[in-house]
Structure 1
């Protein structure tokens, strides 16, 4: 086996192992800690925490990640440029998810900075894969699978990182309710809207899955039934991201790649 093939096999194996690890990480973390992610999250709930149903997005993310991990590990796929470009960043993101799932139930309410920093690292890894995908000219499953999983993952963790930082603040003693909490919630939602819209406007690939994940989370923040100003801000942020996607779709770019991958 040549050095190139050996490196491709190593990368493909790392992606596959990390994709599996993030699936088993949550039940394993809950079993080890004796409490679930949801229980810890409820104890440090911030005003921008989405309604519980929103977290079901991890199902499609995990399924797409596993499907792509298996596909890119096939002997005929390992040396594709798109898999080489996105493999290690996404493997890092998947592995980061697995570690977060183990870490958060243990220390999410006692040392909240650790899972918050880890989640920001996951965002950075997913964003790296996203940026590399934008220059990929391929079509079909070779681009569709990594583009779809990267878009959904980056969109969700973009919102989740804001929620995690807010929850960490509550765990460290910041008020969970009141005027100050509402101001910070609106600022955080505005930041998510600005970042989400900016990424959609510059995207060439997979803006659809990214915008869908961000809007999904923002609408769930509104559905959660917090103070009126937070609900309005969450709906407004979702509208901003959706409007950015509409602007991009109306442009001359290839709509299939933009919306799907």
Structure 2
């Protein structure tokens, strides 16, 4: 019964996060992109970066179907990661409905949600590290969890930056904004690099998503110090993956894929 409840929760949450964005747009009359573009900060990625959600959504739906198979319901990897990933997916769905409204209450609620999503994804990723992930589980859910966590390691930075511009009236062109943006990229580099160096599973997808996000921040055309810091963060995380892969003589496939 417990497995059935978890399986259903994962499936419902995976579908809900796909439906969340059009539902939020229909209810508010604006898209997530409209609100984000109206309050761009120095750490808002270039628009193309958000296409990564399509890959995350596809992986989430595929995993939801895979873990529902009778042969997979009692799998340890699904039992360990199912509930935290279901929470992350459900958080995404709620965020997508709330954020487009753009009001102060919606913005602050979105901040809480994005950090909650990150925490839930981090729990799932951490639980993968002591499992012997093989076969389809390397992609479903391991690589999907790594990709999700990598992106939501960068996303809160952009979310906080946009909220600062929209609600606090912070001037993106000020020197203070540049300093905070650079510090934010340093934080992403430190956290991302440390996590990769400590990982045994799915560090490749995690690093790929972080590099995707930070290079998109660099590509957004901000001030030179922010661009350099964003590219530096990408180099640190990518370099950490290379170092970890060279040091880990066994299970490199699990590290690089899932």
**TM-score of the pair, normalised by structure 2:** 0.97
Indicate whether 1:255 and 2:252 are aligned: yes
Identify which of 213, 223, 231 aligns with 2:209: 213
Partner of 1:165: 160
Distance in 1 (alpha carbons) for counterparts of 2:75 and 2:41? 43
The equivalent residue for 2:181 is: 185
Partner of residue 101, structure 1:
96
Find 2:28's aligned residue among 20, 26, 33: 33
Specify the alignment match of 1:223 in structure 2: 219
In structure 2, distance between residues paired with 1:74 and 1:15: 13
Does 1:153 pair with 2:144?
Answer: no
CA distance in 2, matches of 1:108, 1:57: 26
Match of 1:60 among 55, 63, 83: 55
Q: Deviations over 1:117-154 (max 9, x none)?
A: 10000000000000000011131113431111100000
> For the residues of structure 2 that align with 1:205 and 1:49, how far apart are their CA atoms?
29
Do the aligned residues in 1 keep the contact of 2:133 with 2:254 (CA within 8 Å)?
Answer: no
Cα separation, partners in 2 of 1:108 and 1:255, compared to 1, 3 Å:
farther
Q: CA deviation at 1:43?
A: 1.5
Q: 1:110 to 1:194 in 2, by over 3 A?
A: same
TM-superposed CA distance for 1:107, in Å, is 3.2
Q: Which residue does 1:246 correspond to in 2?
A: 242
Gapped regions of structure 1 (runs ≥ 5): 1-5
Q: 1:259–1:243: structure 2 CA closer, same or farther, 3 Å change rule?
A: same
Q: Secondary structure at the match of 1:49?
A: coil
CA distance in 2, matches of 1:258, 1:108: 41
Structure-2 change in CA distance of 1:31 and 1:71 (3 Å): same
Q: Aligned residues, how many?
A: 256
1:134 paired with 2:129, answer yes
Matches of 2:133 and 2:227 in 1, distance apart? 40
- Other structure's SS at 1:112 match: helix
Partners of 1:162 and 1:239 lie apart in 2 by: 18
Give the one of 168, 193, 196 matched to 1:197.
193
Root-mean-square deviation (CA), in Å? 1.1
Deviation at 1:165, TM superposition (A): 1.1
Q: Is the 8 A contact 1:126 1:153 kept in 2?
A: yes
Could you tell me whether the CA contact under 8 Å between 1:40 and 1:108 is conserved in 2?
A: no
1:83 aligned to 2:78?
Answer: yes
Unaligned runs of 5+ in 2: none
Residues 138 and 257, structure 2, Cα contact 8 Å, conserved in 1 = no
| SS of corresponding position for 1:47 | coil
The question of 1:23 aligning with 2:18 is answered: yes
Return the offset for 1:114. Answer: 1.2
- Residue in structure 2 matching 1:45, options 36, 40, 43: 40
TM-score by length of 1: 0.96
